[in-house]
């Protein structure tokens, strides 16, 4: 470790202490999260101005910053699979009427798929509006190498038939899937938990005393898991500060400037999709302003950490304790939202790439047949996209290969991938929360008093 790296670490510790001091002064959680975001950006910019992004000092500094930033993300990922499993099972044990199960899952999945279709349409419109074309994108040696790597990876994707892809969702070994060993592990855990829940409902009818015993076990496990979530969430402001400082300090702004048009078009599409989320809530009679105010800490973390799966604990917590969504619906929407219908990663991004590439293959991207097929493929392909880094690339491979388009462009954009992925992840998480609100509102189970309340604290985030 050189002297400059040591100084950078000391500065980070000082900023972390500022957040700790704010916590001791009982500053609200939301304000501490936003403060962490702001301090991280300022510190990252300062490091950019003092050092070069590719310098050894920045590399070593970011390595040490990863203890706080990446360490926090790992703690969240640690709890994702247990939380998904126990939340889904608990949702079944708390169902008063088993008939609600079909309505809840149908509305959640339907909302996710509908918003993904809208996201794809917005991505198409943004690409056309900015006149983005694959032939206009300049490439470097590293980006071309990444493109060739994706072409090779495409062989594995294309060799898998649609029935085989569907079979990948099924849990052959649920204990292996609980470790996240496969890209489709999360949806496999959801399916396994659903089987456990359905089995519970059957036992409840025939042997209520055994069902009651099982329910008490599930409630105890759920309480323990949620307590772990509480402990981890308290670290959010610190994790966001380190993550943002690390991201900004290591960003290649020259590459971002070169592909700036695509970055701008992407964020225009992402912002437009977020406005669609707010419009949906307004149509449902819910205040968009209240929604933004209450979910902002969750979206800030998703933006910074770039992981929909890692945001799951915050997602469930915000839906339950801030937005008034019943726990069973919050568990379903948050869990399904990291595997189905990700508006940013599986909706906007693949659609933009397809429209950019189509002219180079002699295809009119505005032909009705192409547009209809693309939106339909995007919807179907959104099943099973992992809510972790690289999910958008995987979704793009599926969409582009299905449309018989080359996939190298996804590799060419690697230099700006982290910047765009931050916005995509935030939109993914917002989409899952909106699906929970739409479902609970449609079923008349939303606690509107809690939603309209100006209290933005929650059980898990209060300290």
pLDDT of residue 442: 92
Mean pLDDT of 434-451: 92
What number of other Cβ atoms are within 10 A of residue 297's Cβ? 29
Q: Nearest CA to 412 among 35, 147, 95, 191?
A: 147
214 by Cβ neighbours in 10 Å (0-12 / 13-18 / 19+) ranks as: middle
- Could you read off the pLDDT of 139-162 as tens digits, one per residue? 554 545 555 555 555 555 555 566
Alpha carbon distance 454, 463 (integer Å): 18
Report residue 184 as tokens.
């489709």
| Nearest-angstrom CA–CA distance, 318 and 296 | 10
pLDDT the model gives residue 385: 62
**Structure tokens belonging to residue 428:** 């993914």
Q: How many helices (H) and strands (E) does the chain have?
A: 21, 0
The Cβ of residue 395 has, within 10 Å, a number of other Cβ atoms equal to 25
Alpha-carbon distance 317 to 295, whole Å? 10
The residue count for the chain: 463
Task: Give the residue, 125 or 75, on which the prediction is more confident.
Answer: 125
Name the residue with higher pLDDT: 7 or 412: 7
**How does DSSP classify residue 455?**
-
According to the model, what pLDDT value does residue 387 have?
A: 47
43 Cβ contact partners less than 8 Å away, ≥ 6 residues apart: 11, 12, 15, 241, 245, 248, 249
Tell me if residue 437 falls in helix, strand or coil: helix
Distances (CA, A) of 350 to 121, 184, 355: 11, 19, 9
- CB burial of residue 50 (10 Å; 0-12, 13-18, 19+): middle
pLDDT in tens, 192-222: 988 998 899 889 889 999 999 999 999 999 8
Write the DSSP assignment of 340-380 as a string of letters.
S--IIIIIIHHHHHHHHHGGGGT--TTSHHHHHHHHHHHHH
Distance CA 46, CA 346 (A): 34
Percent of the chain with pLDDT over 70: 85
Cα 82 to its chain centre, rounded Å, is 18
Mean pLDDT of the chain: 83
Alpha-carbon distance of 318 to 103, in angstroms, equals: 22
Predicted TM-score (pTM) of the model is: 0.78
- Please, is 77 exposed, middle or buried when counting C-beta atoms within 10 Å of its C-beta (0-12, 13-18, 19+)? middle
CB atoms within 10 A of CB 102: 9
Q: Which two tokens stand for residue 400?
A: 């582009």
Summarize pLDDT for 378-406 with one digit per residue, the tens.
888 777 665 444 567 777 777 887 888 87
pLDDT of 345 above 50: yes
pLDDT of residue 214: 94
Q: What is the largest CA-CA distance in the chain?
A: 70
Confidence of residue 173 (pLDDT cuts 50, 70, 90): confident
Residue % of the chain over a pLDDT of 90:
30
Element (DSSP H or E) covering residue 460? none
Q: pLDDT confidence of 271, banded at 50, 70, 90?
A: very high
DSSP secondary structure of 82-95: HHHHHHHHHHHHT-
Q: Which of 320, 280, 287, 314 is nearest to 299 (CA)?
A: 314
| Distance between CA atoms of residues 264 and 279, nearest Å | 22
The dihedrals phi and psi of 146, each to the nearest 5 degrees, come to -65, -40
Q: Given phi > 0 = left and psi -120 to 50 = alpha, else beta, which region is 52?
A: beta
Domains and CATH numbers, the chain: 3-452 (1.10.3860.10)
């Amino acid at each position: 470790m050189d002297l400059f790296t040591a100084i950078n670490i000391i500065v980070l510790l000082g900023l972390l202490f500022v957040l700790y001091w704010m916590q001791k002064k009982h500053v609200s959680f939301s304000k501490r999260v936003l403060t962490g975001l702001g301090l991280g950006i300022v510190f990252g910019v300062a490091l950019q101005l003092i050092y070069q992004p590719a310098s050894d000092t920045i590399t070593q500094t970011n390595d040490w910053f990863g203890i706080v930033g990446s360490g926090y993300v790992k703690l969240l990922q640690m709890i994702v699979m247990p939380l998904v499993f126990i939340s889904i099972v608990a949702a079944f044990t708390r169902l008063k009427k088993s008939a609600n199960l079909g309505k809840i899952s149908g509305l959640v999945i339907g909302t996710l798929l509908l918003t993904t279709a809208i996201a794809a349409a917005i991505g198409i419109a943004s690409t056309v509006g900015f006149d983005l074309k694959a032939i206009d994108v300049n490439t470097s040696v590293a980006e071309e190498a990444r493109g060739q790597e994706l072409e090779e990876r495409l062989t594995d994707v294309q060799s898998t038939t649609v029935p085989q892809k569907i079979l990948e969702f099924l849990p052959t070994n649920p204990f292996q899937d609980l470790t996240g060993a496969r890209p489709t592990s999360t949806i496999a855990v959801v399916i396994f938990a659903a089987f456990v829940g359905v089995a519970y409902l059957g036992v409840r009818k025939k042997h209520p005393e055994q069902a009651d015993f099982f329910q008490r076990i599930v409630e105890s496990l759920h309480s323990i898991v949620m307590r772990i979530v509480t402990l981890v969430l308290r670290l959010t402001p610190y994790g966001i500060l380190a993550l943002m400082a690390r991201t900004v300090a290591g960003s290649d702004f020259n590459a971002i400037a070169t592909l700036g048009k695509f970055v701008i078009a992407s964020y225009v599409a992402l912002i437009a999709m977020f406005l669609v989320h707010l419009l949906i809530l307004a149509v449902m009679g819910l205040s968009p302003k209240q929604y933004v105010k209450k979910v902002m800490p969750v979206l800030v973390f998703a933006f910074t950490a770039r992981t929909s799966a890692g945001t799951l604990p915050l997602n469930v917590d915000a839906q339950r304790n801030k937005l008034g969504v019943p726990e069973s619906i919050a568990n379903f929407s948050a869990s399904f939202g990291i595997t189905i219908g990700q508006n940013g990663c599986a909706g906007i991004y693949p659609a933009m790439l397809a429209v950019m590439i189509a002219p180079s293959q002699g295809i009119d991207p505005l032909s009705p047949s192409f547009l209809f097929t693309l939106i339909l493929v995007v919807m179907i392909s959104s099943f099973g996209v992992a809510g972790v880094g690289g999910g958008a690339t995987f979704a793009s491979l599926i969409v582009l290969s299905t449309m018989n388009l080359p996939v190298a462009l996804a590799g060419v954009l690697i230099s700006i991938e982290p910047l765009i992925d931050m916005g995509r992840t935030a939109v993914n998480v917002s989409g899952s929360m909106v699906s929970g609100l739409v479902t609970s509102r449609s079923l008349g189970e939303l606690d509107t008093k809690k939603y309209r309340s100006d209290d933005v604290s929650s059980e898990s985030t209060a300290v």
